[in-house]
Structure 1
Amino acid sequence: MQPEQTVVKSDDPRCAELDAAGWVVVSRSWAAQVTASGIDVDALSGAVERGRQHGDVREIGDADLDAVLLLDVATLADYPGGVATQHRPLTRATARVSPTRRGFGIVDGDGRVLAVTYVDVDGGTAETEFTVVAAEHRGLGLGTAVKAASILALVREGVGVFRTGGAAENAAIIRSNHRLGYLVDEEWLTFSPPSARGRRHQPTRARADLTR
């Protein structure tokens, strides 16, 4: 995060203080949650089936890393929002999955990863790090499919709470998360001081979704 910017929860008293001091809201973001008891298994299974019209919906493995990295490079400039939601470029190390870092994707017949979501698992809680869909395949439900696949797989393993988030202007992922049962429970504001008005801000933090 740039030192002149600060991210504050929308119900934090500091919001009023910053506003009174002339700070400017430059972006808005949110977080949402769904629990295992709140999911609609049939709806999630249907989303996965629709994704299968475009490729194999499955967990990402080491053999998929090159394709994941290609998708990541191709979509780096596409993430909406500011410092609170920006996606950090993957490296070979951060693209590798583990028992606590899971990846779910749609892979076509040529081995290309068309969509992927990465989820960090901590005990009974899973948090989406990012979700992204290749530009030419957006609007087809692929982002919803991979997120649905991740929830279904992790529920079977005993995960009970799922968290995600994104930029307020990303209407596509908001609709997608609503279909998956997520409910927004946090809103965040990114402020810049008066002297920073009009500057172009370079985001640096992760936790983002790009499915449009």
Structure 2
Amino acid sequence: MRLEALDGLVAPDFPHTPASHHDPLPADLSARIAGGDARAFGAFHRGELVGFTVVVQAKERWEVDRTAVDRRWRGQGVAQAVKASSVLDTYADGVRVWGTGGAAVNTASRRMNEALGFVLEPFWLALVPPVGWREYAESGPGGMRVES
């Protein structure tokens, strides 16, 4: 299985919150990897990709773009192994600061990140606007009534 196929397969499992959701892999990922601005790490079973982590260079640190594991292989340390590989590989090149995301609803991911030494940064408040201005205006206190 190719990276893009596994990413598409697990996309529905990514948490969907105002601050966290699944985006397609960057169209220029291969070029970024070739140019040294991104790296991908995979776990394979009998030649089949079962998990991966993609990291990208972001100013002073390397940021985990995503970690994904085939449903059949979850809970077996695959995500932790590929993410640890990304840290060890970039560490060997002198990197000392990494970042990773994670939705609060994804307990397994948070625990894995903590086990790898990632430190939880302060939470931020995500403000999500109503669907449209008309819904906001009609939403009650503070809103105004709109007549068509």
- TM-score bracket relative to the smaller structure: 0.7 to 0.9
Q: Return the offset for 1:167.
A: 0.6
Partners of 1:138 and 1:95 lie apart in 2 by: 26
Q: Return the offset for 1:90.
A: 2.2
Partners of 2:83 and 2:23 lie apart in 1 by: 19
TM-score (norm 2): 0.78
Q: In the alignment, what sits opposite 2:43?
A: 106
User: Which 10-residue stretch deviates more, 131-140 or 116-125?
Assistant: 116-125
Q: Residues 114 and 133 of structure 1 are in contact (CA less than 8 Å); yes or no, is this contact kept in structure 2?
A: yes
Question: What are structure 2's unaligned runs of at least 5 residues?
Answer: 137-148
**Which structure has more RCO (C-alpha within 8 Å, separation ≥ 6)?**
1
Q: Residues 15 and 22 of structure 2 are in contact (CA less than 8 Å); yes or no, is this contact kept in structure 1?
A: no
TM-score (norm 1): 0.56
In the TM superposition, structure 1's runs of 4+ consecutive aligned residues that sit over 4 Å from their partners are: 193-196
Q: How many residues align?
A: 130
Question: What are structure 1's unaligned runs of at least 5 residues?
Answer: 1-65, 197-212
Residue of structure 1 aligned with 2:11, choices 76, 84, 89: 76
Q: Aligned-pair RMSD on alpha carbons?
A: 2.0
Correspondence list, 1:79-158, <5 A: 79-90=14-25, 93-94=28-29, 97-98=33-34, 99-109=36-46, 111-122=47-58, 124-158=60-94
The structure where strand makes up a greater share of residues is 1
Partners of 1:68 and 1:177 lie apart in 2 by: 22
**Per-residue deviation, residues 42-73 of structure 1 (Å, max 9, x unmatched):** xxxxxxxxxxxxxxxxxxxxxxxx61111011
Q: Work out whether 1:160 is the aligned partner of 2:96.
A: yes
Q: Residues 124 and 160 of structure 1 are in contact (CA less than 8 Å); yes or no, is this contact kept in structure 2?
A: no
